[in-house]
């Protein structure tokens, strides 16, 4: 039986990623990437980054881990990994040179305006654009690596003893306590980020991909949260979990607004980790309890959200750059236009690409429309 709550939570989270990237693109908090904000004063809309960033990507990896268990219950490891390679690795490598080089063009446009790219050949620029166009594709690149690691880890627990133990934990009176305590692993993962000794420089690719941190929720999804008993336990306490998560998030946003919310120091703070973990649990619990159903729109988004995620950043990078550099529009109008555009043009772009043979395989990892 299909888990509609899982599908719904995934596509809703993807839509939140789109909204986050609109705010992120114009942020003035020192977050690496984007094009910068509108002056040095407070941009209160940036508060959305503090609300979303601590939990929405870990949650997507948790959901991916749950889905991996369900898929491996129906397919052999070899079949599953072959499908993962087509859907994840192909768009995350070949797709860079077919489609995402355009994102890279706008990502490097600011440097080009300063003359930093003068003297580079057309071929060199194309390769630089392709690599620079990775953007949100780091997620699927990580996910492919984690899929490979999962096949190796499964061999260590062929009897499913760890998975079955969590079923017994969920039945115990202290079950929810042990699930919340897993947040210690969430905190430990954030401590594995690299602290840059030069604050004025970006923290580097490792802290973008965060492989050791994101591997933890992926494996927890597979070995723990795919368990029906764990899901049922969470659904019974969704309301108190959500109240606690919202309270922690409010305190975090109010007390840290203005800081770089992607820095290792910020992400590794106990309050950030507490909020991030509680929100992951609360969202799973809430959707399991209240949104385990589907409809026409939900069905479409279940099928399409992955493709929309893959292509959406070109809309933000191109339109966001052009408005900032070549218009005198008020910031509120730029935000409004960019928000409407990313939620309308991204699905349209996805629908066009999925209908083009070969291109859909390269960009979306799809064999059929």
Per residue of the chain (369 residues), give pLDDT as tens: 789 999 999 999 999 999 999 999 999 887 877 888 898 788 999 999 999 999 999 999 999 999 999 999 999 999 999 999 999 999 999 999 999 999 999 988 866 765 657 778 889 999 999 999 999 999 999 999 999 999 999 988 888 888 889 889 988 989 999 999 999 999 999 988 876 555 544 555 667 789 899 999 999 999 999 999 999 999 999 999 999 999 999 999 999 999 999 888 999 999 999 999 999 999 999 999 999 999 999 999 999 999 999 999 999 999 999 999 999 999 999 999 999 999 999 999 999 999 999 999 999 999 887
Residue 200 is predicted with a pLDDT of 47
Helices 331-353 and 4-25, packing angle to 10 deg = 130
Phi, psi for 294 (deg, rounded to 5)? -140, 170
Q: What is the pTM of this model?
A: 0.94
Q: Are 247 and 184 in contact (CB under 8 A)?
A: no
Residue 336 is predicted with a pLDDT of 98
Residue 122 is predicted with a pLDDT of 83
Question: Which long-range contacts (C-beta less than 8 Å, at least 24 apart) are formed by 180-185?
Answer: 180/277, 180/278, 180/281, 182/220, 182/224, 182/277, 183/273, 183/274, 183/277, 183/278, 185/216, 185/220
């Amino acid at each position: 039986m299909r888990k509609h709550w899982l599908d719904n939570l995934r596509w809703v989270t993807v839509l939140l990623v789109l909204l986050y990237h609109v705010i992120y693109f114009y942020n003035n908090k020192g977050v690496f990437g984007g094009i910068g904000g509108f002056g040095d004063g407070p941009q209160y809309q940036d508060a959305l980054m503090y609300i979303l960033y601590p939990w929405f990507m870990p949650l997507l990896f948790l959901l991916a881990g749950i889905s991996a268990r369900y898929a491996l219950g129906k397919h052999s490891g070899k079949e599953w990994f072959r499908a993962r390679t087509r859907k994840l690795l192909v768009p995350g490598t070949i797709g860079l040179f077919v489609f995402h080089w355009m994102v890279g063009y706008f990502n490097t446009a600011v440097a080009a305006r300063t003359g930093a790219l003068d003297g580079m050949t057309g071929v060199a620029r194309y390769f630089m654009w392709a690599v620079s166009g990775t953007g949100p594709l780091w997620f699927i690149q990580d996910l492919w690596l984690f899929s490979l690691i999962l096949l190796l880890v499964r061999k260590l627990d062929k009897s499913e003893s760890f998975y079955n133990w969590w079923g017994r934990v969920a039945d115990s009176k202290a079950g929810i306590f042990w699930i919340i305590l897993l947040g210690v692993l969430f905190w430990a993962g954030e401590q594995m980020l690299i602290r840059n000794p030069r604050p004025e420089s970006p923290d580097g690719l490792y802290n973008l991909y965060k492989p050791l941190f994101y591997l933890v929720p992926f494996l927890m999804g597979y070995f723990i949260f795919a368990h029906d008993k764990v899901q049922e336990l969470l659904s019974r306490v969704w309301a108190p979990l959500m109240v606690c998560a919202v309270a922690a998030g409010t305190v975090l946003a109010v007390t840290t607004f203005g800081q770089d919310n992607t820095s290792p120091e910020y992400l590794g703070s106990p309050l950030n980790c507490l909020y991030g973990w509680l929100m992951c649990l609360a969202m799973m619990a809430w959707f399991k309890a209240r949104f385990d159903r589907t409809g026409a729109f939900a069905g479409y988004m279940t099928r399409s959200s992955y493709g929309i995620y893959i292509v959406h950043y070109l809309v933000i990078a191109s339109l966001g750059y052009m408005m900032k550099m070549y218009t005198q529009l008020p910031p509120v109008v730029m935000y409004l236009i960019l928000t409407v555009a990313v939620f309308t043009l991204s699905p349209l772009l996805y629908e066009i690409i999925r209908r083009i043979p070969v291109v859909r395989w390269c960009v979306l990892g799809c064999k059929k429309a």
